[in-house]
Amino acid sequence: MQSADLEVLRAALGWLEQGAGVTLVTVGRTWGSSPRPPGSLLAIHADGRLVGSVSGGCIEDDLLCRMREQATPAALPGVLSYGVTAEQTSRFGLPCGGRLELVVETLTQKEQLKKLVSAVHSRGLIARRVCLETGEVSLHPVRRDQAFAYDGRTLVKVFGPVWRLLIIGAGQLSKYLAEMALALDYDVTVCDPREEYARAWQVEGVPLDARMPDDAVRALAADNRSVVVALTHDPKLDDMALMEALGSQAFYVGALGSRANSARRRARLASLGIEEQALSRLHGPVGLPIGSRTPAEIAVAILAELTAVRRGVRLQAMDANMNATAAVQDSAGVAGPS
């Protein structure tokens, strides 16, 4: 499963290599409630095919009409605004008060786009800078903490995973979680020193690290853009990772298990010297309480909670569903190699 950005880039490159005209649209700025966040991409083939999105659909229709009415491709990037008037808001179905500004450019540089696709495919980080006044496009190295930027004159879009996810355990749940996390643009690594699990691990784009979990956490997931989720259900492995992760800057640390197992885990970690302040960071049972029962459903719950934490959203606990979710995490965690 690939990220939305990579899907758009690959489609655009494929169309260029076929000799077709391609337009790239980027959400530059938004005000109020908007369908898609800044940095969202849409690629438009000359025949009207679309990959990606900048809205719920109505703006894409208008963009197609504008493209068909345009006799020749624009030499320089342009800017389009939607939702500026009440009529536009009603016509394009934007939420009340919503407004967005789009940067529209004609793609021509196949070799540069190939480099960009290659970098993103290999899970690297790279920034694409567009000067609206000159049309110059350049690629640059980028820090993991650098965000999308647009000031009306220059657009800088960061491609690649700016968040790391380290999964402890290579079981069935880990497979679902890893595949879904790739689509959300996480840089995913699975750690499992157990030979029988390591041999069976096969998820494209997700390497397996056979080091002991505490070593893997120190090496891969110690900064504030890292996530550590322990899913082996084996205290000998999970606790090693958690002890290291809870003392690190990782912004999210979670562990699979029922409420009873989670309580026992906290007691073990406390007895090993982990202070209460660090223990309070532990998400266990891991994931939002949405009544998850299957490994795939639990993976959805974990990624939903990760998204909420990243966005700073506070969610009310749903006690009835929490009980159902926690009750099945024991059995889900011991699924065999996928």
Q: In order along the chain (338 residues), what is the average pLDDT of each group of 10 residues?
A: 89 96 96 87 95 87 88 88 75 72 95 94 91 96 90 96 95 97 94 95 94 96 94 94 96 94 95 94 94 95 95 65 49 41
Angular region, 197: left φ>0, alpha ψ -120 to 50, beta rest: alpha
Q: What is 106-145 written as a DSSP string?
A: EE--HHHHHHHHHHHHTT--EEEEEETTT--EEEE---TT
Q: What is 187-246 written as a DSSP string?
A: EEEEE---HHHHHH---TT--EE-S-HHHHHHHHS-STTEEEEE-S--HHHHHHHHHHHH
Question: How far apart are the C-alpha atoms of 2 and 316, rounded to whole Å?
Answer: 31
The DSSP H or E segment spanning 325 is: helix 319-332
Q: How far is CA 60 from CA 40, 55, 63, 280, 319, in A?
A: 13, 7, 5, 45, 41
Angle ∠(222,225,226) on CA atoms, nearest 5: 50
Helix or strand or coil: residue 152?
coil
The DSSP H or E segment spanning 24 is: strand 22-31
At 194, phi and psi to the nearest 5?
Answer: -75, 120
pLDDT at 140: 95
> CB neighbours of 87 closer than 8 A, spacing ≥ 6?
none
Q: Please state the pTM of the whole predicted model.
A: 0.82
- Domain edges within the chain: 4-159, 163-332
C-alpha closest to that of 173 among 335, 325, 2:
335
pLDDT at 33: 77
Own/partner contacts of 195-200, CB < 8 Å, gap of 24 or more, are 196/337, 197/169, 197/170, 197/171, 197/337, 198/170, 199/337, 200/170, 200/337, 200/338
Domain 163-332 homologous superfamily, CATH: NAD(P)-binding Rossmann-like Domain (3.40.50.720)
